[in-house]
Structure 1
Amino acid sequence: MNRLIDPYSDEIARIFGDTSAQLQTLPEELREHALALLGGCYPLDRKDSEGPNMISYLLPYWVGETLGSPIELCRELALGNVYGMLSFFLLDDVMDERREVRRSLALSTLLNQRFLEAYQRCFSGNAQLWVCYHRYLAEWADAMYREVDEPMNPRDPGRLARKAAPVKLCAAALLLQAGRAQEIRGMETAIDLALAVLQLSDDWTDWREDLPMASCNAFLVLLRENLALHADEVLDESMVKRSIYREQALGGLATLANDYADRLNAMKDAPASLQIFASAIAQSLQSKANEIRDRYDALLNNGGFSIYLTING
């Protein structure tokens, strides 16, 4: 991911610095929480470069480069997207019951307002942009509502992408500024494919955490299909581990991710950095699937007891 982060290191330092300075004006009881949340997302001090989150604040630059947009506009939208990213992180935490609800909701509301203010400074009179915003917000709300009662569909990239739908607002804004509104739908499709790859990767990373509500996790949905489990059969950790090693369950997820990345790469007008972003994530999933396959084959040749320890350790 460094090849995507490094060219923008000065811009990242700038927008995160500006965000940090602006967060100093928050109420004291929320300021420390907001700054800690921002610091946890800062990519330049991390070995992993905070790869999955980069789409939030780099997408304005990626799309802007494709359109020849003013750098000042890209910066303003990137700043807004940092606020939006933090706001929706907090809402996700509330819905997952991972943080104290009252403080998270209060801070999320303030951060979301700053997200909107950044866009309003540049596009206050553009009604078409706010039509897009309300559509993206509805997509996000639909995703959050449906994941409780309706299993995730790993083969529907549009639905996979909906939990991050508001990030598309910067692309719509830049296309409107460039007088290319007719290209918004195509750009949305490209971004949805990248976000779908990202969601598949996140679901692989989070499968243990998501086991209690397995239907919201695309990897676990695929695994249930492979095991032909009935609706009333509970999926437990040992079953998942066995499937990962014996049935090579990650391979199916990696195949889907590569398919979405290939479809994105075939879109000639999609931002090149967006294509690189999605391909890198898909390739990482495939590499992990290959690693698990090779490890299993090696253990199989060395005896079943080693396999048992690997699966149940």
Structure 2
Amino acid sequence: MPFITHFEASLQAVFSKAQQITAKFPAPLNQTGQAYITQINPLHRSGSQNYLGYLLPYWITEMADVTEEQCEQLALANLFGMLHFFIVDEVMDTGSAESRQKLALSHLFYTQMYGVLHRMHTSDSKIWEYYDRYMADWSLGVAQESESDYFNTDPLRTALKSSLVKIASTGALLLSDQHAFIPAVEQAVDYVLVALQMADDWTDWEADLADGSYNGLLALFRNRWPEQSPITVSKVRKAIYVQGLLTDYVELAYQYEQAHLKLGLKAGYLLEFHGSITASLANDAHNIELSRKKQMEGGLFQTLS
């Protein structure tokens, strides 16, 4: 996958820099912070990973004339910003005894993100207007997630909680005087963020059902079969493996990939990454459909239904 392999050295450099900075945090936050960085490093984990936040500024170099150093700084800002919001989200979900320490660490990550951006952009730069808007989007996404059925009413709103990731692409475009492309790139990133959330929701639907977290796949199930209340694991499994729920889910994912393609952006790596997410979902749906047909042919359909 060129959108990853072409940038592995750059990705390693970004994470190494983040580790060096975090090592200077006061103890014990330095060690905890470094552990978080290792945990999210896609080069240290197997399977499909979220490369968007770390490689977005590099992918945008097809459109934005920014240097390797500027890309690294933008990626570093995104990395620290993602860690900040990851911890805030984690504390909101768990409310554990470790919350105070985690929030302290989160603030340090936030400070590093803001510092990197401030060194790259003057106080009168347009970047701060975008920064304020992305922060407001995050706040709205967090506050309304459990109250609004985003996936069925306005799926793009599922990207709100990750809005700040766009500071990397917007920053790169501003640094290279490519302001006109910002709205289209923002839209493209939103499409990718929706795909990432859909992939996560497919992976996590059982856990989300158990703890009551909002989940796009479960939201689609409720919309398709509103009479199936209360929702149970067995009901959702039947919808997935017998009634084609995942196939419908993938069709929605394809629609957003096609919308991304129609933007006509010269950002091939970003589009390839998006396509890889959709293809993974489609492959799972295809395998389920093949299995269902084989079971029907083998006379086992009654067992499943």
Question: Where on the TM-score scale, by shorter chain, does this alignment land: which range?
Answer: over 0.9
Give the match for residue 36 of structure 1.
35
Change (3 A) 1:271 1:126: farther
Q: Which structure 2 segments of 5+ residues have no match? A: none
Q: Which structure 1 segments of 5+ residues have no match? A: none
1:259 has 2:255 as partner: yes
Give the match for residue 134 of structure 1.
132
Q: Displacement, 1:270?
A: 4.7
What does the per-residue CA deviation read over 1:129-158, in whole Å, with 9 as the maximum and x for residues that have no partner? 111011011111111111121223246343
Change (3 A) 1:305 1:261: closer
Change (3 A) 1:261 1:305: closer
Which has the higher relative contact order, 1 or 2, with Cα contacts under 8 A spaced 6 or more apart? 2
Alignment root-mean-square deviation, CA: 1.9
What does the per-residue CA deviation read over 1:103-153, in whole Å, with 9 as the maximum and x for residues that have no partner? 221111110111111111100324411110110111111111111212232
Q: TM-score, normalised by structure 1?
A: 0.91
2:290 aligns with one of 287, 290, 294: 294
Identity of aligned residues (%): 30
Local SS of the residue matching 1:67: coil
Local SS of the residue matching 1:44: helix
Q: How does 1:56-205 map to 2 (within 5 A)?
A: 56-97=53-94, 100-154=98-152, 156-205=154-203
Partner Cα distance (1:291, 1:234) in 2: 28
Paired letter, 2:35: A
Give the match for residue 210 of structure 1.
208
1:244 aligns with one of 240, 244, 249: 240
Local SS of the residue matching 2:50: helix
Local SS of the residue matching 1:282: helix
Segments of 4+ moved more than 6 angstroms: none
Change (3 A) 1:89 1:60: same
Local SS of the residue matching 1:179: coil
Q: Displacement, 1:242?
A: 1.1
Partner Cα distance (1:300, 1:31) in 2: 56
8 A Cα contact 2:3 2:59, kept in partner: no
8 A Cα contact 1:157 1:193, kept in partner: no
Give the match for residue 27 of structure 1.
26
Q: TM-score, normalised by structure 2?
A: 0.93
8 A Cα contact 1:123 1:129, kept in partner: yes
8 A Cα contact 2:81 2:110, kept in partner: yes
Q: Displacement, 1:53?
A: 2.0
Q: Displacement, 1:244?
A: 0.8
Q: Displacement, 1:171?
A: 1.3
**Size of the alignment, in residue pairs?**
304
Partner Cα distance (1:250, 1:30) in 2: 42
